[in-house]
């Protein structure tokens, strides 16, 4: 695996356009895209999720990312979220984070995080839980990214403005 491939992650609270924007960016830059493993996983859950499910989502996200890194021809990839989400949800919903997640967080940094602002209107989705706690989760994301010493930019704006702001952040990062 080429260790020089940069990783750009699109992260943030629920219903902030992460999946849409990450796919748009990957197409725009003609680079590989890593989807959010947890979405596929949770779509198939028939019971409330457990700490083991959170750990499974962590391993699934890491494996998916590694598989794409192994075959990409790109200088960088775009990730629709990261396993930092597993930490946030585990802490919030279960009161504890699986140890493998905590152990791996400092060992798998991303080169740039695009933190999606909560200025988009809420879109209902069966996998979304907290329409009234977006401000809270935005603060949690800031706290987690700062704790990692992460390089991140908040991306705001609606429609084309949001896309343009994200492209500018990526271009600035890449030195374009």
Tell me what percent of the residues of the chain surpass a pLDDT of 90. Answer: 69
Residue 47 in any domain: the answer is yes
Residue 21 in any domain: the answer is yes
Residue 146 in any domain: the answer is yes
Residue 1, pLDDT score: 46
CATH number at residue 135: 3.40.50.300
Domain of residue 53, residue span: 6-174
| Between 114 and 36, residue with greater pLDDT | 114
Q: What is the pTM of this model?
A: 0.91
Residue 130, pLDDT score: 59
First-last CA distance in the chain = 25
Kind plus residue range of the DSSP H or E element containing 11: strand 6-11
Task: Give the neighbor-by-neighbor strand order of the sheet with 6-11.
Answer: 32-34, 76-80, 6-11, 112-116, 152-155
pLDDT at residue 99 greater than cutoff 90: yes
Residues 124, 18: contact at Cβ < 8 Å?
no
Mean pLDDT of 142-146: 97
Residue 1 in any domain: the answer is no
Binned at pLDDT 50, 70 and 90, residue 98 comes out as very high
Residue 129, pLDDT score: 61
Residue 60 in any domain: the answer is yes
Nearest to 151 by CA among 52, 4, 9: 9
Mean pLDDT of 140-164: 96
pLDDT at residue 90 greater than cutoff 50: yes
Residue 22 in any domain: the answer is yes
Residue 46's alpha-carbon distances to 40, 50, 90, 128, 157, in angstroms, are: 13, 12, 18, 15, 36
Give residue 118's Cα distance to chain centre: 15
Per the DSSP assignment, residues forming a β-bridge with 152 are 113
Binned at pLDDT 50, 70 and 90, residue 123 comes out as low
Residue 56, pLDDT score: 87
CA–CA dist 165, 27 (Å, integer): 16
Per residue, what are the HEC states of 34-98?
Answer: ECCHHHHHHHCCCCCCCHHHHHHHHHHHHHHHHHHHHHCCCCEEEEECCCHHHHHHHHHHHCCCC
pLDDT at residue 61 greater than cutoff 90: yes
Residue 12 in any domain: the answer is yes
What is the total count of domains within the chain? 1
Tell me what percent of the residues of the chain surpass a pLDDT of 70. Answer: 92
Q: CB 95: neighbour CB atoms within 10 A?
A: 8
Model confidence pLDDT, tens digit, residues 8-58: 999 999 889 999 999 999 999 999 999 998 877 877 777 777 888 888 889
Residue 160 in any domain: the answer is yes
pLDDT at residue 140 greater than cutoff 70: yes
């Amino acid at each position: 695996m080429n260790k020089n491939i940069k990783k750009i992650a699109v992260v943030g609270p629920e219903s902030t356009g992460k999946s849409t924007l990450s796919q748009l960016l990957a197409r725009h830059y003609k680079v590989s895209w890593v989807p959010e493993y947890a979405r596929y996983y949770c779509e198939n859950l028939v019971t409330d999720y457990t700490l083991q499910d959170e750990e499974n989502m962590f391993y699934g996200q890491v494996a998916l990312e590694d598989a794409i890194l192994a075959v990409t021809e790109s200088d960088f990839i775009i990730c629709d979220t990261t396993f930092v989400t597993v930490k946030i949800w585990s802490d919030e919903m279960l009161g504890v984070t699986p140890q493998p997640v905590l152990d791996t967080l400092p060992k798998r940094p991303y080169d740039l995080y695009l933190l999606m602002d909560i200025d988009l209107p809420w879109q209902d989705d069966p996998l979304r839980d907290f329409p009234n706690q977006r401000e809270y989760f935005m603060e949690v994301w800031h706290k987690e990214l700062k704790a990692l010493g992460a390089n991140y930019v908040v991306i705001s704006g609606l429609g084309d403005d949001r896309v343009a702001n994200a492209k500018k952040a990526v271009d600035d990062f890449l030195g374009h």
